[in-house]
Structure 1
Amino acid sequence: MANVEDAEKLSEVLQVLANPIRLKMLALIAVRPRYAYELSKYLKLSYPLTHLHLNLLEKAGFISGSYVEGPRTKKVYRLNDFQLVISGEILRKIGEKLESP
């Protein structure tokens, strides 16, 4: 995940993390890689809704999915290494960008 020093990008990342379901998914994937079906059963979500949340997490860079060959090809999701820090310095840089013409 890239440094977020833009108000729009920071807002997008925080919106992804603001959902309790996605936070639970991240926590479960942090323990070990997971399949969408496994997450949908554990969290009692429909399979399409599970995929929607996983796609948002993947797009934001928190997880990566890769296909595993077998009798049925499945996509397994792994946690990406990331660190989220919102400091006064980062907010100041965002503010300075907003002020400049």
Structure 2
Amino acid sequence: MGDTAGIEELSEVLQVLANPIRLKMLSLIAVRPRYAYELSKMLNLSYPLTYLHLSILEKAGLVESYYVEGPRTKRIYRLRDFEVKISPEVLRKMGEKLENP
């Protein structure tokens, strides 16, 4: 059996990015870091659903969070540097790894 780690990792990231809500969140966070409550209001989502999507984005390594202390401690989400690249060359290399383990 060939090395499928690259294919599985790519598949997981694409599944995360395939959700329109998460793409909207990433777009808003790309403008500036935001906290979950702010995103829930902007996207008209419940806080638990917003937090679930943010957790999925964080687990996939697309965003990271940090806390800001104040009268109310806020967990802020910011975009991490990432690049998703799919090209015939990338797919060929993945296929070769599967073909020749």
Following superposition of structure 1 onto structure 2, how do residues 1-101 of structure 1 map, counting pairs within 5 Å? 6-101=6-101
Q: CA RMSD for the aligned pairs? A: 1.2
Which runs of no fewer than 5 residues in structure 2 stay unpaired?
none
Q: Percent identity?
A: 74
Between 70-79 and 34-43, the greater mean CA deviation after superposition: 70-79
Distance 1:56 1:94 in 2: 25
Distance 1:49 1:93 in 2: 38
Which runs of no fewer than 5 residues in structure 1 stay unpaired?
none
Q: What amino acid is the match of 1:59? A: K
Distance 1:73 1:99 in 2: 52
Large movers: runs of 4+ above 6 Å: none
Q: Which has the higher contact order (CA 8 A, sep 6+)?
A: 2
Alignment TM-score, normalising by the size of structure 1:
0.89
Alignment TM-score, normalising by the size of structure 2:
0.89
Partner of 1:84, secondary structure, is: coil
Report the structure number with the largest CA radius of gyration: 2
- CA-to-aligned-CA distance 1:16-57 (integer Å, 9 cap, x gap): 000000000000001111000000011011111101110111
The offset of 1:95, in angstroms, is 1.0
